[in-house]
Structure 1
Amino acid sequence: MCGLRSRHTTLATLVGSFFVSFCFVNVATVAAADGFGSFSLQSSKSYSYQRASAPDGTRAERFELRSGDCPASTGDCHRQRERVEKFETIPASRQDHEYWYHFSVFIPTDWPASGSVNTKLGQFHQFGNGKGPVLFQILDGRYIFELGNPAVRQASPMRPLPPLRQIGLTSANAMKGRWTSITVNANWSRTPAGFINVWVNGAKKVGLKGPNVDRDSPVYFKYGVYRSLKAAGKGNTPLVAWYTGIRRGSTRGLVDGTQ
């Protein structure tokens, strides 16, 4: 099972389709973050991930994405996608249970304008094939919250389905040279009991109720740098982002904080 320890094998039936998609990726198990289970690193180069100081001196996780960083075994190179990310393995967030999450992301002052090139900085996904329910991404100069349409399953990764909602959180320029703190409160559900709330630097930006996942599998968190659907001649500039304060808990007090 992709190099996972024997104690994980009992999960094989539940998340088989998830691990099939990652079995041929160069991954390394990484120490668990607060409140989460273990994470694995999906990368292609030695420079892709380090624990290092951010420009303000904060000790953090440093991700670097360069053009062509797309492990051949993932198919990313044939799908106009590049990535260096950590993804939560187990345990994942169960449906119809309330969770609080937090992460802080720092992008440098020379972060390039990307236009229509979609760059994800934080994602919530489900085990199995399909589009992630919630994406945090820089698009056209804005850091955007995107909720997928829970009524429709993603068929082709090269033909992304329109999201149910897109909500601007802040501008990319406002994120440069500083930490942006994201707090999420969610009940992942296919029923009207579902909800998701998002705060950015302490200010509430998102408050949605209703179904927010499209299948009956757990939800897991990913973070790093993921650049997708590059247009010809775009997206060739290296991207660097730092993360800290990766937390999950049952109350806001257990996770919240600027870093």
Structure 2
Amino acid sequence: MFRSVMLIVALFLLTPIVRAQVLHTADFEQGGVDEQGLKLQSANDDAITRVDHPVRAGKYAAKTLLRVDDPKVHKGQRAEFSDSRRAIKMNTDYWYALSVFIPDDFRSRSDRHKNAVIFQWHTQQGGPSPMLAIRIRKDHWLITTHAEGKWRVITELPLEKARWTDWVIKANWSPKPTGGWTIWHNGKVVVNEQNIITDYPEAQGPYVKFGQYHSVDEHVPANTVYFDEFRIAGPDSTYADVAPRDD
């Protein structure tokens, strides 16, 4: 009997474990902001830095600082991380997660048409962008799409300041009405659109970016936003595989 039990245990230990297809993690625990496997798009050395407060999990997070006098980078003022090197397949499920901390002193731009882009999915080949974006306008989160060649507001949510906001997105990118996306805000589904156009007709799906893009103007001289717990996962993954940790 003992030998049978030991044989079963040995077979269990030798059986390959099928792990979720987590493609990338940037939690800032190992190395600086330039060692997270993402491109940095900023004009100044202090625009994107690693900090030990506030943090969503672990010991470190990323701080982005954008000023009104910052030079433009790629035709716009920005302090962003970009995952543009990754090949994203069309008609395939992808999971994305990001935690965002908006400080109390964050101010929205005076022009209501020029909202701050915090989390976005950009086309690979120059079509209308972004395909999907999470923005800040006044005292609201604004989720928008440009996938059908025109601006559409998907939903608005109250903006939380001085606390972490957790975003999880499951997206299937398609230039035909076969795509879809589901968006969780602090663990609650706030968007669920299926059988829709989610991307411009191109060979690959959009790449993801996060940080600050055009969040300042002559009336808002500077803004700071913090980020943590960024993950991308493939079709065999689940919400739990990308959701932020609670340690």
Scaled by the length of structure 2, the TM-score of the pair is: 0.75
Structure exhibiting the larger radius of gyration computed from Cα positions = 2
- Specify the alignment match of 1:119 in structure 2: 116
- Specify the alignment match of 2:96 in structure 1: 101
Please say if residues 85 and 223 of structure 1, whose CA atoms lie closer than 8 Å, have aligned partners that are also in contact. yes
Matched, 1:50 2:49: yes
Deviations 1:65-117 (A, max 9, x none): 0112233x6333xxxxx211111132232111101110000011111243414
Change (3 A) 1:56 1:133: closer
Matched, 1:191 2:176: yes
- Specify the alignment match of 1:243 in structure 2: 227
Shift of 1:257: 2.6
Matched, 1:211 2:215: no
Equivalenced residue count is 205
Shift of 1:192: 2.2
| Runs (5+) with no aligned partner, structure 2 | 1-32
Shift of 1:193: 1.8
User: 3-state SS of the aligned residue for 1:30?
Assistant: helix
Please say if residues 54 and 242 of structure 1, whose CA atoms lie closer than 8 Å, have aligned partners that are also in contact. no
| Runs (5+) with no aligned partner, structure 1 | 1-28, 33-37, 77-81, 153-161
What aligned pairs does 1:1-259 form with structure 2 within 5 A after superposition? Answer: 30-32=34-36, 38-55=37-54, 59-71=60-72, 74-76=74-76, 82-115=77-110, 116=112, 117-130=114-127, 131-150=129-148, 152=149, 162-168=150-156, 170-172=157-159, 175-209=160-194, 210-216=196-202, 217-227=204-214, 230=217, 233-234=218-219, 236-250=220-234, 251=237, 252-257=239-244
Shift of 1:258: 5.8
Q: Distance in 2 between matches of 1:56 and 1:91?
A: 26
- Specify the alignment match of 1:18 in structure 2: none
Q: Distance in 2 between matches of 1:214 and 1:135?
A: 15
Change (3 A) 1:147 1:40: same
Change (3 A) 1:229 1:109: closer
Segments of 4+ moved more than 6 angstroms: none
Of structures 1 and 2, the one scoring higher in RCO (CA 8 A, sep 6+) is 2
Deviations 1:171-218 (A, max 9, x none): 22xx21100000000111112220001000011100112111112133
Q: Distance in 2 between matches of 1:190 and 1:135?
A: 17
Shift of 1:64: 0.4
